Amino acid sequence: MLGASEILEDQSGTIPLYNHKQNLRKEKENIFLIGDAATQVKATTYGGIIYGLIAGNFLARDKESYVKNFNKKLGKDLWISLKMREMMNSMDEKQSNEMIEIFQKKNNIDILGKHDRDFPSKFILQLLMKETKLWKLGFGIFKNKIFS
């Protein structure tokens, strides 16, 4: 044991969600943004370490192609994550329970187990094709968003 301790400071802040309009480069100053500063954060989990590391690799390899490479390779998955978060935020309790039931099915667990969940574009279509209840749930959530 370390003995008596005390909290010296507690800090918190807003987690920036993905924004496709975020400027990743300020050309005149030769400044590049990665990670949270570049809104490279998955809206579903509020995680961004993987995306920040990948973005850092893109920048280290070729700063002139950084923005293009990031948008091409990661932008779609961050956008999908953002749309998934927006849908989850608009679900009522019944819909949340339906979603839990859907993702407890073995077929869906298997699909998620085979794919890296940092990249939803790799599995979202497969889930939508195999699980018809996701369509029903999606239409219900869409209705919530329109009429709320």
Long-range contacts of 68-72 (CB under 8 A, 24+ apart): 70/24, 70/40, 71/20
pLDDT at 144: 77
pLDDT of 121: 93
Write down the pLDDT at residue 45. Answer: 92
Distance of CA 115 to CAs 52, 112, 122, Å? 20, 5, 7
Using pLDDT thresholds of 50, 70 and 90, give the confidence band for residue 122.
very high
pLDDT average, residue stretch 44-61: 95
Contact 64, 45 (CB under 8 A): no
Distance CA 17, CA 41 (A): 6
Tokens standing for 106? Answer: 């073995």
Burial of 120 (0-12, 13-18, 19+ CB in 10 A): buried
What CA–CA distance (Å, rounded) separates 49 from 53?
6
Over the stretch 53-90, which tens digit does the pLDDT of each residue have? 999 999 999 999 999 999 999 999 999 999 999 999 99
pLDDT exceeds 90 at position 141 = no
The confidence band for 1, taking pLDDT boundaries of 50, 70 and 90, is low
Task: State pLDDT tens for residues 11-27.
Answer: 888 989 999 999 999 98
Least confident among 26-40, 107-121, 134-148 = 134-148
- Which helix (H) or strand (E) covers residue 111, if one does? helix 106-114
Q: Which of 91, 74, 88 is nearest to 20 (CA)?
A: 74
pLDDT, averaged across the chain:
91
- pLDDT the model gives residue 73: 95
Q: What is the rounded distance in angstroms from the CA atom of residue 127 to the CA atom of residue 111?
A: 7
